[in-house]
Structure 1
């Protein structure tokens, strides 16, 4: 579902805040400082951007993406995306719109906008210049819907759409596997943890992507969605290093079903686990049609997958979906301590051990993933699914 078209990629200018209008103005900050930002200031700004409390919104993030690409790669040199890749088109348009802006000017504009964002939250903009990331901590601002950072020998992937409860868009479905692949190829990373920003781990598929789909588009969009879902799940199956979920709040839909593919799952006692497939006219994904019965037993898995039984964190632990549960007040510190400890284990041994544990099931699970994705493609096109989703929207209004 989240692969289907977004209701509206960018907010209307009519509703744009005065702050957004300021940061998006092409000449807003050129008079703030006479010297161009250094590479250290640019790197520091990337770190500050990821530490903001509030999501600046899609328009600002598009601007930041474009400036980041311009500062690193120069003027846009990629072909315009086609088909239904509206997010890709928006990103390309933002980058291409910078024209021949120099890398140095793009870097300066990027730093200026971050300073304005920090100032808007009551922070000290000068810290962007003065503070550099620790040599043991690296972050990557090339992602839009997630935060990817390396802390010591551990990579952390944060689902970063807190205002939408980290609902998963088509773009996020692509960025998470890309981040996993990056961590897999980084010899300095020995373990990866995935968590959510704010109070939710993830509310699952962004159902707003169902809006404004024309009947003649449904087949193509559903088929594209099936491919994206299959690739998303395969990203977990192909990951060779230890993978930990830090479930800081509710995990719904595909965010819940893919937990069966993690090596360890830690949960806050505020978390719950919910697969609302029956209410939405859909079927299990994330290989849960196999992994959940294996972990829980058939009867208890059926309660969850067929009838939408919502589990508390402790119930999920009893059913082996969760490894351990910690109080919300100590959750982050408990997880951080364990992740740091695991990251110091001999990496080759960890990879070899995971491979021998998982290798007998990997090919089988890919077949399960393919069958689940194909079934969903059919269901997304059914009148029953359409009616169920429309009923969902009517309850939200």
Structure 2
């Protein structure tokens, strides 16, 4: 059974089968760039999934050639004066980082910005072998988010994290596997079936033990992760309001429209 999120229409699709909820980003014409309305829908879906005993595993994927091009920059520019902790994007990050059930990312296309950093908070990540990944925060005069400035140096070492977060190097699916950001790269036509197969394996496990295992694996760093999300979001908001970043973003948007 497939549902469409009420807001925005058609931009997030869901299906529920065999205790597995699949959430599909479907804003294809905008390369699945995430708007505030989409963040609101994702928060609601994740909260509902956490409460629903009929859902044991969540798969996050997308339609089209992009997993997500990141945040909707135009919307972020227009909301620059909004307090960071009132923004839907901030609440989405906290919701995903605290999500108690297993979540699998099936990265079907290019991932940019938060499209990469959100993967750091998923339990299993599979990607098509044609994907590329990039975190161009500094290029826009912003700072990385979603606790990536804490997680990536600890996971990859500082030198590699500098390449990805400060230089903004692009990397492909095989490199993402080598870095430990992605579990496995697969041909595009095998991606969803492979993710679903592993979701079925997780869903077949005893529920209490499954949830307890995730809780034990995440609880030691949970407080630090949420603190890093908050600190980064505050700095991100400060940078977004700056004349320097507003000028960079305006030039970026004008170039994209031309």
Please tell me the TM-score bracket, short chain as reference: over 0.9
Give the Cα–Cα distance (whole angstroms) in 2 for the partners of residues 243 and 292 of structure 1: 19
Aligned to 1:324: 184
**1:240 counterpart = 2:100:** yes
- Residues 1:394 and 1:139: Cα distance change in structure 2 (over 3 Å): closer
Q: Which moved more, 1:373-382 or 1:289-298?
A: 289-298
C-alpha RMSD of the superposition? 1.7
Is 1:183 matched up with 2:43?
no
The alpha-carbon deviation at position 294 of structure 1 amounts to: 2.0
Are residues 1:162 and 2:28 paired? yes
Q: Which residue number corresponds to residue 338 of structure 1?
A: 198
User: 1:139 aligned to 2:16?
Assistant: no
1:93-129 Cα shifts (integer Å, max 9, x gaps): xxxxxxxxxxxxxxxxxxxxxxxxxxxxxxxxxxxxx
Please give the TM-score of this superposition, normalised by the length of structure 1. Answer: 0.61
- Once the two structures are superposed, what CA deviation does each residue of 1:179-237 show, in whole Å capped at 9, x if it has no partner? 111111110111111011122110101123256x4xxx742x3x257643321111112
Aligned length: 255
- Higher gyration radius (CA): 1
Q: Deviations over 1:246-300 (max 9, x none)?
A: 1000111111111111111100011111111111000010111111112211111
Native 8 Å contact 2:107 2:128 kept in 1: yes
Answer yes or no: is the 8 Å Cα contact 2:12–2:25 preserved in 1. yes
What does the per-residue CA deviation read over 1:46-88, in whole Å, with 9 as the maximum and x for residues that have no partner? xxxxxxxxxxxxxxxxxxxxxxxxxxxxxxxxxxxxxxxxxxx
Matched, 1:300 2:160: yes
Asked if structure 1 preserves the Cα contact closer than 8 Å seen for 2:7 and 2:37, the reply is no
Say whether 1:393 aligns with 2:225.
no
Deviates more, 1:241-250 or 1:386-395: 386-395
Residues 68, 111 of structure 2: 8 Å contact kept: yes
> What CA distance in whole angstroms lies between the structure 1 residues aligned with 2:55 and 2:33?
27
Q: Partners in 2 of 1:376 and 1:384 — Cα distance?
A: 13
Q: How does 1:61-210 map to 2 (within 5 A)?
A: 137=1, 139=3, 141-144=5-8, 145-209=11-75
Which structure shows the higher strand fraction?
Answer: 2
Q: TM-score, normalised by structure 2?
A: 0.93
What 5-or-longer segments of structure 1 have no aligned partner?
1-136
